[in-house]
A and B are shown apart, each in its own frame.
Chain A
Amino acid sequence: GEDVEQSLFLSVREGDSSVINCTYTDSSSTYLYWYKQEPGAGLQLLTYIFSNMDMKQDQRLTVLLNKKDKHLSLRIADTQTGDSAIYFCAEAYAGNNRKLIWGLGTSLAVNP
């Protein structure tokens, strides 16, 4: 079945690292994505990882993929107040249409 799960809330102090976790069920997913949604704004693609990779780093963002456990994480180093948002994990649905299956989102609160 199609299911992506995330913890709903995370609170960190400014300057600390944030780790947002996600599990998915479709082992045939080819790409996994992290999107950011700020209040009143659309969805912004942060990063993605191909399913044959274990890790991808992009500036302050590190994505780790454990394909065996179907576990994906997003680490934000030196978290800033501007990082406060909802972070969605999404998987590309196997097939021809690139339909994305989304988690419920993790609300990240960064405290000064």
Chain B
Amino acid sequence: DTGVSQNPRHKITKRGQNVTFRCDPISEHNRLYWYRQTLGQGPEFLTYFQNEAQLEKSRLLSDRFSAERPKGSFSTLEIQRTEQGDSAMYLCASSLAGVNTEAFFGQGTRLTVV
């Protein structure tokens, strides 16, 4: 296992288009997190899954955003009708369940909305 994998690494899209990102976590990890990071900021929590269940969504996640983890393995994050303000790095992390288990991060998908 080579760690958390995110695809694509970069995405440029026109405003109003829909985009979908994929995250493949470390295989035995049952928790999966999505964060968004804009330039000069720390990551902001968006949502997290335990297995296939989406347990929490940030209020940052408007109704244009949807995340799924249908089989409890990979996850997708879709943004509909993209806006320029959606331009950011979208980070995925995975971890084992437990009181303190390390979250391993992917390298992120950089989205640019033009």
Give chain A's interface residues, CB within 8 Å of chain B. 4, 30-31, 35, 40-45, 48, 50, 88, 90, 92, 97-105
The stretch that binds A, out of B11-19, B62-70, B103-111, is B103-111
Known contacts: A98-B95, A100-B103. The answer to whether A42 contacts B108 by CB under 8 A is yes
Known contacts: A92-B100, A98-B95. The answer to whether A105 contacts B48 by CB under 8 A is no
Q: How far is the CB of A86 from chain B (nearest CB, A)?
A: 9
Q: How large is the interface on B (under 10, 10 to 19, 20 to 34, 35 or more residues)?
A: 20 to 34
26 A-B residue pairings within 8 Å (CB atoms): A4-B42, A31-B100, A41-B107, A42-B4, A42-B91, A42-B106, A43-B93, A43-B105, A45-B102, A45-B103, A48-B102, A90-B42, A92-B100, A97-B55, A98-B48, A98-B95, A98-B100, A98-B103, A99-B33, A100-B33, A100-B43, A100-B103, A101-B45, A102-B42, A104-B40, A104-B42
Within 68-114 of B, Cβ neighbours of A (below 8 Å) are at 91, 93, 95, 99-108
Residue of A nearest to B55 (CB): A97
A-B pair number, CB within 8 angstroms: 56
Please tell me if B31 contacts chain A, counting CB pairs below 8 Å.
yes
CA gap between A44 and B103 in the complex, in Å:
9
Are B56 and A42 interface neighbours, CB within 8 A?
Answer: no
Please tell me if B41 contacts chain A, counting CB pairs below 8 Å.
yes
Q: How far is the CB of A87 from chain B (nearest CB, A)?
A: 11
User: Other than the known A48-B100, A97-B48, A100-B103, what 14 A-B pairs have Cβ atoms closer than 8 Å?
Assistant: A4-B42, A30-B100, A35-B105, A42-B91, A42-B108, A43-B105, A44-B105, A45-B103, A48-B102, A97-B55, A98-B100, A99-B33, A101-B45, A102-B43
Are A102 and B100 interface neighbours, CB within 8 A?
Answer: no
CA gap between A99 and B48 in the complex, in Å:
8
Residue of B nearest to A31 (CB): B100
Residue of A nearest to B50 (CB): A97
Please give me the 8 A-B residue pairs with the lowest Cβ-Cβ distance, nearest first: A102-B42, A43-B105, A42-B107, A42-B105, A99-B45, A102-B43, A104-B42, A31-B100
Task: Report chain B residues within 8 Å CB of A40.
Answer: 107
Which of B40, B43, B104, B105 has the most chain A CB atoms inside 10 A of its CB? B43
